[in-house]
C-alpha cells in the first residue's frame, strides 16, 4: 500500500462485468491513470468482485473480455488487487480460484485503504 | 490493397478480420515505415497481446510486455521509438490491425 | 405456474421481491446479472433452493461470466430456443428487473 505516495489513486469498482459498460470503463480509467505513471490501486467491492471470476467467455454476447483485461493490470504496474472479502463469501467465491495478485480485505481494512490514497474514483 | 473504406478516420483498420501481412505493409507504407524483421517482431507481439488481454496496450504496458517477451534490450521505449517514431504503441497497433489503444489520450 | 425472470444481481430489490413470490410450482429463469444468484456456494442459491422453484440459467450469460462450472447441480442451462420453449410452457410470465 503506498501510504505516503503523492497523487495515488484508488479506483473503486462496484459493478458486475457485463451488466453494463461501467465495469470496462472503470478499468480503463485505472489503466489510463497508470499509463501516466500514477500509483493506482483497484478495489473490487460488492458486485465488483464478479469481475474477478476467471474463464469468462463473452464472445457469445458480443462484448470484450473483462477477465483478460484484468490480467493485463500487472503490465501497468497495478500489482495488487483488493477485494471485498464479505462479497466474495456472499457469492461463494474461493480466493484461491481468483487472480493470484488478489488481496481479500475485511470491512475495517477497506476503511483503512480509503484513507491511504490521495484520491478516490468511484464506479 | 484494401480500399480506404476499410479504415477509420485515423487510419485504423475497422475490422480485425481484414488484417493480413500485406495489409500491415500497406498501413506501414502509409506511415512512411518500411517493415523489417524488427518491426514484424513488435507487430506480432502486439497481436499476441490483443489475444492475451482483449485490449490494445498503452505505451507503458507495451514496453513491459516487450521486455517480458523479447528481453530488456527490446523492452524499452527508445528501441520502440526508433522503430515506430512518435507514438510507438499507437503506430504499431495501427500496423497490427488492432483498435486504437483504449487509453491513448 | 408462473415463469419468473430475473436480470438483477442478488443484492438487488428485484431479487428480494422475486424471492418473496416464488412458489414450488414456478420456474425462475436467471439472465443478465441475475445469473449470479445461482452460484453454488452463495447465500442467494440457498434462499432460492428453499422456494422449491425450478431454476434455469441462460447459457450465453453464464459463459460470458465464467460461472458455468460454478453453478449448483439443481440448475438447468438453457439456450435461447429453450427460453422460448419455457415461455410457451408457462402461460404467464413475471419479469423482475
pLDDT in tens, A69-81: 999 999 999 988 9
pLDDT at A6 over 70: no
B66 catalytically annotated? no
State the residue for C-alpha cell 520502440.
B80
pLDDT at B103 over 80: no
Chain B residues with CB under 8 Å of A37 CB are: 60
CATH class of A9-122: alpha beta
pLDDT at B105 over 60: no
Among C45, C47, C71, residue whose Cα is nearest residue C59? C71
Total number of domains in chain B: 1
Predicted-complex ipTM score? 0.88
Burial (0-12, 13-18, 19+ Cβ within 10 Å), B12: middle
Whole-angstrom Cα distance, residue A25 to residue A121? Answer: 12
Chain A contact probe: residue of C32, C49, C64 with most A CBs at under 10 A: C64
State the residue for C-alpha cell 506480432.
B44
For residue B49, being part of any structural domain is answered with yes
Q: Give the DSSP per-residue string, chain B.
A: ---GGGB-TTS-BS-GGG--HHHHHHHHHHTT----HHHHHHHHHHHHHHHHHSSPPPHHHHHHHHHHHH-TTTSSHHHHHHHS-S-HHHHHHHHTTPPPPTT--
Residue C63 and residue A19: Cβ atoms within 8 Å? no
For residue B100, being part of any structural domain is answered with no
pLDDT in tens, A35-74: 888 899 999 999 999 999 999 999 999 999 999 999 999 9
Query: CA of A73: which chain B residue's CA is closest?
Result: B61
CATH superfamily for domain C2-96: DsrEFH-like (3.40.1260.10)
Give C21→chain A minimum CA distance, Å: 22
pLDDT interval class at A2 (50, 70, 90): low
Whole-angstrom Cα distance, residue A14 to residue A46? Answer: 6
Interface of C with A in 13-52 (CB under 8 A): 32-33, 36, 39-45
Read off the CATH number of the domain in which B54 is found: 1.10.10.370
Locate the domains of chain C by residue range: 2-96
Taking residues B65-83, what's their average pLDDT?
95
CB-based contacts of B43: which residues, under 8 Å, 6+ apart? B24, B35, B92, B95, B96
CB-based contacts of B32: which residues, under 8 Å, 6+ apart? none
Rounded alpha-carbon distances, angstroms, from residue C49 to A17, A64, A82, C70: 25, 33, 31, 16
Find the domain containing B29 and state its range.
4-95
Low-confidence ranges of chain C (pLDDT < 70): none
For residue B104, being part of any structural domain is answered with no
Amino acid at each position: 500500500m503506498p501510504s505516503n505516495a503523492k497523487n495515488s489513486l484508488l479506483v473503486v469498482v462496484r459493478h458486475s462485468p457485463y451488466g453494463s459498460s461501467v465495469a470496462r470503463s472503470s478499468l480503463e480509467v485505472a489503466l489510463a491513470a497508470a499509463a501516466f505513471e500514477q500509483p493506482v490501486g483497484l478495489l473490487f467491492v460488492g458486485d465488483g468482485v464478479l469481475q474477478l471470476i476467471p474463464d469468462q467467455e463473452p464472445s457469445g454476447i458480443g462484448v470484450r473480455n473483462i477477465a483478460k483485461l484484468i490480467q493485463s493490470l500487472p503490465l501497468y504496474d497495478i500489482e495488487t488487487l483488493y477485494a471485498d472479502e464479505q462479497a466474495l463469501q456472499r457469492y461463494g467465491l474461493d480466493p484461491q480460484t481468483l487472480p493470484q495478485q488478489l488481496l481479500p480485505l475485511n470491512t475495517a481494512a477497506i476503511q483503512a485503504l480509503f484513507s491511504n490514497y490521495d484520491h478516490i474514483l468511484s464506479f | 490493397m484494401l480500399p480506404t473504406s476499410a479504415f477509420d478516420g485515423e487510419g485504423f483498420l475497422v475490422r480485425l478480420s481484414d488484417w493480413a501481412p500485406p495489409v500491415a505493409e500497406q498501413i506501414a507504407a502509409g506511415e512512411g515505415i518500411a517493415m523489417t524483421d524488427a518491426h514484424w517482431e513488435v507487430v506480432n507481439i502486439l497481436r499476441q497481446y490483443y489475444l492475451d488481454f482483449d485490449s490494445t496496450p498503452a505505451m507503458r504496458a507495451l514496453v513491459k510486455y516487450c521486455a517480458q517477451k523479447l528481453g530488456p534490450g527490446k523492452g524499452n521505449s527508445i528501441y520502440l521509438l526508433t522503430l515506430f517514431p512518435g507514438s510507438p504503441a499507437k503506430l504499431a497497433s495501427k500496423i497490427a490491425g488492432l483498435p486504437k489503444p483504449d487509453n491513448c489520450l | 405456474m408462473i415463469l419468473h425472470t430475473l436480470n438483477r444481481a442478488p443484492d438487488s430489490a428485484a431479487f428480494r421481491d422475486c424471492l418473496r413470490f416464488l412458489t414450488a410450482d414456478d420456474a425462475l429463469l436467471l439472465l443478465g446479472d441475475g445469473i449470479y444468484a445461482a452460484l453454488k456456494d452463495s447465500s442467494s442459491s440457498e434462499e432460492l433452493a428453499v422456494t422449491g422453484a425450478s431454476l434455469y440459467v441462460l447459457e450465453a450469460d453464464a459463459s460470458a461470466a465464467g460461472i458455468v462450472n460454478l453453478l449448483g447441480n439443481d440448475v438447468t442451462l438453457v439456450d435461447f430456443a429453450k427460453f422460448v420453449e419455457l415461455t410457451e410452457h408457462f402461460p404467464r410470465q413475471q419479469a423482475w428487473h
